[in-house]
Amino acid sequence: MTNTQTVDSKRVLLAAPRGYCAGVDRAVVTVEKALDLYGPPVYVRKEIVHNKHVVTTLEKRGAIFVDETDEVPEGATVIFSAHGVAPVVHEEAKALNLKTIDATCPLVTKVHREAKRFAADDFDILLIGHEGHEEVVGTSGEAPEHIVLVQSPDHVEQVQVRDPDKVVWLSQTTLSVDETMETVRRLREKFPKLQDPPSDDICYATQNRQLAVKQMAPETDLMIVVGSRNSSNSVRLVEVAIEHGAKAGHLVDYADEIDESWLQGVTTVGVTSGASVPEVLVRDVLEYLAERGYQDVRPIVAAEESLLFALPNELRRDLKARNGSDADQVRHDAGSLH
């Protein structure tokens, strides 16, 4: 094979959908609009979403990220991240007379409501998720006396409940679909009367991005997932790629983190991004690859997404009071993070 033929055979499989989901878009725009409306600084409890570029960009605009509520000055404005918070956090904010804007993803809020509902009916709730993840901490805080954390299929044998006839499972929204279903299968073997949540807890965006990767992986020599290492859904995409046939997979925040040695002998590169990743970072990866001969980009479309979430009520109210504009739609004024 000649050098020309080798270059011509190089290609990129580009996942669709990828990048921002509706909940992330809503959360990021919430911080941007709050900075415009109230002026800096605006405080954000935890990272608004798990992406290094997003956080750094918002910091430059005047957002201040804190780990705990008591780091916010009394009377200031604080935004709660897309991952959700426990009720005790709302109580802490009230005690400090903070103006709160809750940017929790509505799909996470749904899981919170399910936890409260089943706790009220005195169920034991088996919450499938990763210990310490902000979403798990928030959901657990809704019903701490009823929730048992199940971290993996191998953890099932250690699970104990009060009444095996009154048990239900819920999950973190950003998990591997396959691993979660395996965990549920083992839980059901142990607790035959295990109830399911009213609807899927793993969010549509997580499922769609994993589905695209599953379709791409068997043809892929190298899968590059754009995303941060503390992003659960991004980390899962690398794992799903390897599990479904990709010969190699790596997670990068930026194109300049790609090691050229990864491309040795590689004909097909798969590219996707986690649900908290702005598209500009994917474009940078595609440019990096094009400069190295991977100019044939073929989309792999697993699903179409059109969901939009309204901005938080507190912010919409203040926006309307200022200028009377319709603040229902999230995607206003596309900027560097969109």
CA–CA distance, 125 with 31 (Å, rounded to integer)? 33
For residue 323 the two structure tokens come to 């200028």
DSSP 76-88: -EEEE-TT---HH
CA–CA distance, 248 with 276 (Å, rounded to integer)? 22
For residue 33 the two structure tokens come to 């609009």
- 32 and 337 Cβ atoms separated by less than 8 Å: yes
- How many CA atoms are closer than 13 Å to the CA of 80, on its beta-carbon side? 28
Active-site annotation, residues = 135
For residue 191 the two structure tokens come to 């607790």
Of 300, 305, 151, 282, give the one whose Cα is nearest residue 218.
Answer: 300
For residue 75 the two structure tokens come to 């009377």
For 303-327, b/e burial (b = at least 16 CB within 10 A) is eebeeebebbebbbebbeeeeeeeb
Q: 299 by DSSP, 3-state: which?
A: strand
Residue 251 pairs in a beta bridge with 225
CA–CA distance, 56 with 68 (Å, rounded to integer)? 19
For residue 309 the two structure tokens come to 């979430």
Peptide bond into 218 cis (omega under 30): no
- 184 and 162 Cβ atoms separated by less than 8 Å: no
Burial bucket for residue 259 (CB in 10 Å: 0-12, 13-18, 19+): exposed
